[in-house]
A = this chain, B = another copy of it.
């Protein structure tokens, strides 16, 4: 196994924190035992948990106003994989990468697959891109892709998605995520009904190319890049489309793609009821699709979402949604943000696992609103640091991922090894 960070640095850093972790883990175990919770059971579930890294996430993001790059940004998919390898080596909760095409196109996908495997990384859902024009592309997506008024443009977008599936097959992926920014900036610009029909027709062609053991995820978004209307603007449209397309087609929930104030955890429950909950893009937001680090704005909301996921899993043993971080790292080292977010997500999952669902259900039946809430609050307020740190430690990761990464001076090294090519971005600004 390749270890981009020298294992001795990891070991040294863990040594510094081992005694305190032992003490914290022991105390937490004792405290949870009072509630008849076995800390080892929770820790094992955390150890099994994994969330995918988006290949574009290891580059610095930006806004329409500017992008402020940092040194050592990956210049191709192999360097992205190397950075993902750092994240996985230290955090041990990110054993897959979700690639994006055409950004991650290579001549030899087998080589890429093996390269990633050497870092302990597999490939999660593949992502198509029909929201940007590529050089030498025949038809522009300025006015849409899968929903464009012109049939040839739609077909071009369909063809691209089918190529992405082909790439994914070689990489060992089992799912395609389709997100289109198609929509309009003016009332009247687009026929809502024609655009939706085009969406269904185009996706039916893509669906037809899907291997039997694959899933197709439809991602909705209320706005941006379209500012008056978006074809798949909410989970209602996403659900309608997924129902029309077939059993392998499901809905993907990105936490930042909703109208203000919307209760996202309830959408999770509804999509699960409809058997159409396919996966998640984790991030956080305060205003729009801010793509901030997971849990950094509203950590209680993330907990409530995980609470629904734990409930769904309890109801349905087959429940196995795809989890990915989809964040834009504009002011931090992306590797740090992704490790930190993996830590936050793991902690949140751990807290959700602490909820006494039998007791919660009893309070719900009795309409004891206060104690039902306090049941959640009690789990949420538990400090589960020791559990996720112990899970990392036992798997060879770092107790403190950020401190260990900084001690390794990885960023300094890649800044030297990867001279900037100027304007290159790893994808979405």
Contacts and interface: CB of A to CB of B under 8 A. Distances in A.
Nearest to A231: B266
Given A66-B225, A261-B259, A189 B373 contact: yes
B300 A299 contact: yes
Nearest to A267: B236
Q: How many copies of this protein are present in the complex?
A: 4
B337 A370 contact: yes
Given A188-B363, A236-B270, A240-B270, A223 B288 contact: yes
Contact of A364 (B140, B189, B375): B189
A346 interface: no
A272 interface: yes
B191 A240 contact: no
A79 interface: no
**Which of A64, A235, A292 has the most C-beta atoms of chain B within 10 angstroms of its own C-beta?**
A64
B259 A262 contact: yes
Contacts of A155: none
B259 A286 contact: no
Interface in A258-295: 258-263, 265-267, 269-270, 272-274, 285-288, 290-293
A224 B297 contact: no
Contacts of A143: 331, 367, 369
Contacts of A365: 149
A266 B187 CA distance: 10
Nearest to A268: B192
A51 interface: no
Interface stretch (A7-15, A102-110, A161-169, A376-384): A376-384
Contacts of A49: none
Nearest to A379: B188
A333 interface: yes
B193 A286 contact: no
Interface in A171-199: 181, 184-194, 196-197
A269 to B, nearest CB: 4
B239 A336 contact: no
Given A68-B133, A259-B261, A360 B188 contact: yes
A201 interface: no
Contacts of A214: none
7 contacts: A64-B429, A68-B140, A193-B311, A196-B273, A296-B373, A333-B370, A340-B370
